Amino acid sequence: MVAHDTVTVEKRPALSTAQAPRRRPRGAWTPWLYLAPALAVLAALLGYPIYQLGLISLFRYTQAQVSGGEPTVFRGFGNYADVFADDRFWQVLLATVVFAAACVLSTLAVGCALAVLLTRVRAVPRLALMLAALGAWATPAVTGSTVWLFLFDPDFGPVNRVLGLGDHSWTYGRYSAFFLVLLEVVWCSFPFVMVTVYAGIRAVPSEVLEAAALDGASQWRIWRSVLAPMLRPILVVVTIQSVIWDFKVFTQIYVMTNGGGIAGQNLVLNVYAYQEAFASSQYGLGAAIGVVMLLILLTVTLGYLRLLRRQGEDI
Amino acid sequence: MKPSVRIAALLTVLVTAACAPQTSANSSSAEDDKSGTLRVWLFQEVGNDPKQKVVDSVVADFEKAHDGTDVQVEYIPVDTRAQRVKAALNDPKSAPDVMEYGNTDTAGYVKDGGLLDVTEEFGSWAETKNTDPTARGSVTVDGRIYGAPLYVGVRALYYRTDVFGELGLTVPKTMAELASTARKVRAAKPGLYGLVVGGAYTYGALPFVWAHGGELATGKGGSYASAVDSAAARKGITAYTSLFGDDNCPAAKCAGMGGNDTITAFAAGKAAMAIGGDFSHTAVEAGEVKGKYAVVPLPGVTAGSVAPAFAGGNNIGVLKSTSHRTLAVRLMEALASKRTQARLFDAMGFLPTFTDVREAAATRKPYVKPFVDTLAAGTRFVPASPAWSQIDSQLVLPTMFQEIVSGRKDVAAASGEAARKMDAAFGSVG
């Protein structure tokens, strides 16, 4: 058996090199053949829902249409026109972009700082930090939000008592409410960044770090000039992940600001879409908002990747 | 130019190729079987056992009276009822024959093509001559009747007898007195809210609008027009929003409160007065204030009048897709009959929708007297339009109240904006 196998393996390269030029046309399809199963799965799981989303966004499609009470009406880009004509949409979009950016930056800063810290401490504190982070990671968003809200409760919360703020309400002001939500978002998403970056740091050869240390580089300098460039691919992935997560934040805002805050001051796009459209079964309008979000996220992600590629990164 | 043309062409191809998104056929069934299985969906209440016992005995009687029928009752959780009902409307095969639904959903479900028109049966059902007019209104859309009222819920003024006694205060007789009494309490006891109010407590705020002669919307049937920016409505909105402030209920804490938050505050002894429903009775009894409070109808603008309350509650309806039309309607009548409502009141405290049954109930359990009086003084209902669910979920009214109490907009600007949004919603469903 073994001998037979070896023979065929030896024969094949000779065959293919000899006949390669003539077989080109058929060979060009071979990669697609191998990719077919993956593409089929992707098309079914990703392409079809997006196609449906786009399709629904062109219709007047509410519960009455779904259940057959009224005929489905084609509106062209009417739903998009409705969305873009609403002043509130633009305010919410701006708030979402700024809030998501703040969340991404804070999450990355906290996650990376703690990842570096993990490499510098002994086993016991490292284990404690890891467990604490994993606990935060594993907590469901609704639970986490409720607990944070309780911590900052004007009447019963320990934070006000410790800081001596009396019955100051954190959710009344627009920025303090956003700040409170930001804390919760960072708290529940930094562990992913921390664990991933920590794994990346572990994979960096210790000689490089040793050399930098011998040259007298400070901790900050090592991070900036040695670790960050070497961890770039990992940082790119966690950044994109964070951008997508934080742009789509729903639960935290919905729970902590009671569905968008006083007079809707803390609305972000997802909550806005839910209130304007999905909660009252206006699926067409909701789908239009969904498509707009999808396009924004795609633009941001592709723009970011392109920027990196221009800087000579092979990603 | 070119890319947009190409995209448009592509979209046209996609759309024509795939036609339209999915739609289920939900026409009424032609069948009318006189035996077989009837499926019923009722709401799962907190502490559902007493309700289940009443329903079980109604069902047993019904099965005995109609040979060859089998009634299957399922209790669906209130939180997820919207999804369940949507699913039932999307797939008529899995839909029940008879279901309980919140009365503000009536117009929406009718538009969705879910509820059966039972105008004739309702008219020939002898007991309905005692149905109170608002309850009848809550099953009526465009002059047709789509169900039977099961119970009503209504709000009144809870106040602390011990605090009032200690400060020598009398129960307010007008809305102006209500505000001044609330401020007196707050001034004497800074730790208490005078009258606890909430910026997101729509059904606590609406009596103020109605008492001043305002309306949410005017018109009938399909064509409603918002009236929240009328002079009378604005007067009511001003009366309610002026209760937010450091002299009664600080905006920083009260602007975000909903109805449940105000009841929680009252039950915990943090407020001297609150606007609560007959359904809040259990929660208040379980709180610190048990035995130290009383309830009166919310006073109106003039002494001796009662502010019109919102008549919430639930109805029982038959689904259009039922294949047992006659039986299902009879079962609806059995479940919403005078006898059943009287027993449900004793078991669950649900206020009956028949005036005579309600009077009798008030003599059995005196705590419901102020609520029955409130109902007798006349109640109001939200516009019977499918747009209401949209206005409700878009938080149009809470946003208006919160904009005013947080000082972002004045009453005229905020109510004008709310009226614009309501008109847009009425227009979009018309």
Output the DSSP codes for B92-147: GGG--SEEEEEGGGHHHHHHTT-BPP-HHHHHH-GGGGGB-HHHHHTTEETTEE-S
CA distance B353 to B122: 14
Mean pLDDT for B317-330 is 93
Contacts of A255 (CB under 8 A, 6+ apart): A141, A142, A145, A146, A149
DSSP-based three-state secondary structure for B69: strand
pLDDT tens for residues A46-72?
A: 899 999 999 999 988 887 787 777 788
Query: ipTM beyond 0.90?
Result: no
Of A39-53, A54-68, B341-355, B386-400, the range with the lowest mean pLDDT is A54-68
Of A211-215, B109-113, B272-276, B295-299, the range with the lowest mean pLDDT is B109-113
pLDDT tens for residues B81-97?
A: 888 888 888 888 888 99
Q: What is the pLDDT of residue B3?
A: 47
SS (H, E, C) A177-233: HHHHHHHHHHHHHHHHHHHHHHHHHHHCCHHHHHHHHHCCCCHHHHHHHHHHHHCHH
Token pair recorded at residue B155: 């709000």
**Mutation site for A-interface testing, chosen from B394, B409, B417 by largest number of A Cβ within 10 Å:** B394
Q: What is the pLDDT of residue A282?
A: 87
pLDDT tens for residues B147-163?
A: 999 999 999 999 999 99
* Cβ contact, residue pair A264, B395, below 8 Å: yes
Mean pLDDT for A132-160 is 90
Contacts of B404 (CB under 8 A, 6+ apart): B237, B241, B410, B411, B414
Choose among A74, A171, A280: nearest Cβ to B256.
A171
Residue pair B148/B269 in contact by the 8 Å Cβ criterion? no
CA distance B293 to B272: 9
Token pair recorded at residue B233: 């409505």
| Residues pairing with B102 in the sheet | B314
In this structure, the answer to whether residues A158 and A301 fall within a common structural domain is yes
In this structure, the answer to whether residues A83 and A225 fall within a common structural domain is yes
CA distance B92 to B175: 49
Q: What is the pLDDT of residue A81?
A: 93
Choose among A63, A68, A172: nearest Cβ to B255.
A172
In this structure, the answer to whether residues A118 and A208 fall within a common structural domain is yes
Contact status of B424 with chain A (Cβ, < 8 Å): no
Look at residues B141, B94, B146, B82 and name the one whose alpha carbon lies nearest to residue B119. B146
CA distance A288 to A82: 9
A237 CA to chain B: closest CA distance, Å? 31
Contact status of A172 with chain B (Cβ, < 8 Å): yes
In this structure, the answer to whether residues A33 and A93 fall within a common structural domain is no
Choose among B15, B386, B394: nearest Cβ to A55.
B15
CA distance B210 to B361: 27
Contact status of A171 with chain B (Cβ, < 8 Å): yes
**Can you give the CATH number for the domain in which A153 is found?**
1.10.3720.10
Tally of domains within chain A: 2
Residue whose token pair is 């009822």:
B81
Residue A126 maps to a domain: yes
Instruction: Answer yes or no: is pLDDT of A216 > 60.
Output: yes
**Residue A181 with chain B: CB contacts under 8 Å:** none
In this structure, the answer to whether residues A132 and A271 fall within a common structural domain is yes
Segments forming the whole domain that contains residue A235: 78-310
pLDDT confidence tier of residue B319, bands split at 50, 70 and 90: very high
Choose among B21, B90, B394: nearest Cβ to A55.
B21
DSSP H stretches of helix in A248-282: 251-256, 269-276
B4 or A32: which leads in pLDDT: A32
State the pTM of this model.
0.83
Count of Cβ atoms closer than 10 Å to residue A176 Cβ: 14
Instruction: Answer yes or no: is pLDDT of B207 > 60.
Output: yes
Q: What is the pLDDT of residue A9?
A: 41
Residue pair A295/A80 in contact by the 8 Å Cβ criterion? no
* Identical fold, B36-153+311-380 and B155-310+386-429: yes
Residue A69 maps to a domain: no
In this structure, the answer to whether residues A151 and A285 fall within a common structural domain is yes
The H or E element spanning position B300 is none
Question: Which CATH topology does B155-310+386-429 take?
Answer: D-Maltodextrin-Binding Protein; domain 2 (3.40.190)
Integer-rounded Cα Rg, in Å, for chain A is 26
Distances in Å between the alpha carbon of B273 and those of B174, B182, B309? 14, 8, 17
| Residues pairing with B108 in the sheet | none
Question: Which CATH topology does B36-153+311-380 take?
Answer: D-Maltodextrin-Binding Protein; domain 2 (3.40.190)
Instruction: Answer yes or no: is pLDDT of A311 > 50.
Output: yes
In this structure, the answer to whether residues A2 and A123 fall within a common structural domain is no
Q: Which one of A181-190, A232-241, B222-231 scores highest in mean pLDDT?
A: A181-190
**Mutation site for B-interface testing, chosen from A52, A61, A63, A152 by largest number of B Cβ within 10 Å:** A63
pLDDT tens for residues A5-45?
A: 444 444 444 444 444 455 555 678 888 999 999 999 998 99
CA distance B11 to A54: 9
Instruction: Answer yes or no: is pLDDT of A198 > 90.
Output: yes
Choose among B86, B111, B199: nearest Cβ to A262.
B199
Residue of A nearest to B254 (CA): A172
Indicate the domain borders of chain B.
Answer: 36-153+311-380, 155-310+386-429
In this structure, the answer to whether residues A198 and A262 fall within a common structural domain is yes
A188 or B89: which leads in pLDDT: A188
* Cβ contact, residue pair A172, B256, below 8 Å: yes
* Cβ contact, residue pair A280, B20, below 8 Å: no
Q: What is the pLDDT of residue A128?
A: 95
In this structure, the answer to whether residues A159 and A24 fall within a common structural domain is no
B112 or B99: which leads in pLDDT: B99
Residue A67 maps to a domain: no
* Cβ contact, residue pair A279, B393, below 8 Å: yes
